[in-house]
Amino acid sequence: MSLHRATTAALRAVGRRPTESHPRGQASNKDKNEPAHAGSFARTDDSITVEYPPDHELPSSEPVTGAGRAGMHVYPTLATFSLEGKVGVVTGGARGLGLVMGQGMVVSGADLAIVDMNKEEAEIQAKAIMDQFKKDNPNAKKFPRVTAHYADVSDPESVQACVDEILAQHGRIDSLVTSAGFTENFQATDYPIDRFRKLFAVNVDGTYLFATAVARHLMARNARGSMVFIGSMSGAIVNVPQPQAPYNSAKAAVRHMAASLAVEWAHLGIRVNCISPGYMLTALTKKILDDNPDLKQKWTSLIPQGKMGSPEDLMGPVAFLLSDAANYVTGADLRVDGGYTVT
């Protein structure tokens, strides 16, 4: 879900361009004389096959420690950046990026509904977020409310039942972050059609179903609102060497869906934006690095900032786009990738 797009992050950088030991413009004479090598750094490798792991094999995530004092404006900043008095929803919020982005909403003052297929894990993380908030803000006059909810984001009835449950517990919804999704690596001619349909059902259908369900609620209230779809830099580039045409296509759909709905709902005061993360060091990515310790250098050599992102690097961008500070921002795609996609 929130960490699904990181499943094969460890493979994305390999082969995109020459490494430092064989830099662009300094190829050996052997390479110059062998046309078979032409374009080899801009091709996918059909031998790479990665299937998303089952839920019980996914590593648990933890809330960020020392994330700041929520909504208290201890440090000078614009009040419009606060989410105080808002109710937010994050799908795929029990692990990885979704968990940390949800925590960022709470730190910014919002009440939060965590939605995940693993409700037990969502309940554990809801308590962990609250415990961390109380630890960071022992003298707070008001503590935000964090609840856990089940939903299969690809099922319209499950989505509506979840939204109804959130409304029953929180009274309203003001903002939405759609972080549920996953990725797999197969060459297109070998990818099972049932897996293709599931990938699109979770990444694309799930985003659409939650967005429209929340939009209907906002329209019924005649209320303004803000949504952030979590895409991926893969929606704007073709990653190599791993073949992942279905995932790239799904994330491109999410990105353009955000732009399309932003235009459709702009006159109603409902803003829709997209955040496209690059390589993020989630718990799952760390596990991949432990198994492949040489990969981190290969990744970071392709990132202008020279390092992978941390999940908490998304807390600020999400809070900004959901807040009133971004009132004139809609239909945007904010890439949080350390500059990867501009090189």
Taking a C-beta distance cutoff of 8 angstroms, is the pair 182, 199 a contact?
yes
Candidates 52, 154, 226, 251; catalytic one: 251
Q: Is 142 a catalytic residue?
A: no
Q: Is 232 a catalytic residue?
A: yes
Q: Is 154 a catalytic residue?
A: no
Quick one: which of 112, 110, 96 has its CA closest to 147? 112
Candidates 2, 226, 232, 234; catalytic one: 232
Query: CA 114 to CA 126: how far, in whole Å?
Result: 7
Quick one: which of 97, 88, 93 has its CA closest to 116? 93
Query: CA 333 to CA 10: how far, in whole Å?
Result: 24
Taking a C-beta distance cutoff of 8 angstroms, is the pair 1, 182 a contact?
yes
Give Dmax over CA atoms of the chain in angstroms. Answer: 72
Place of tokens 């709470």: 106
Place of tokens 């939204």: 163
Q: What is the rounded end-to-end Cα distance, in angstroms, of the chain? A: 28
Query: CA 119 to CA 152: how far, in whole Å?
Result: 11
Candidates 247, 296, 298, 323; catalytic one: 247
- Catalytic residue numbers read 232, 247, 251
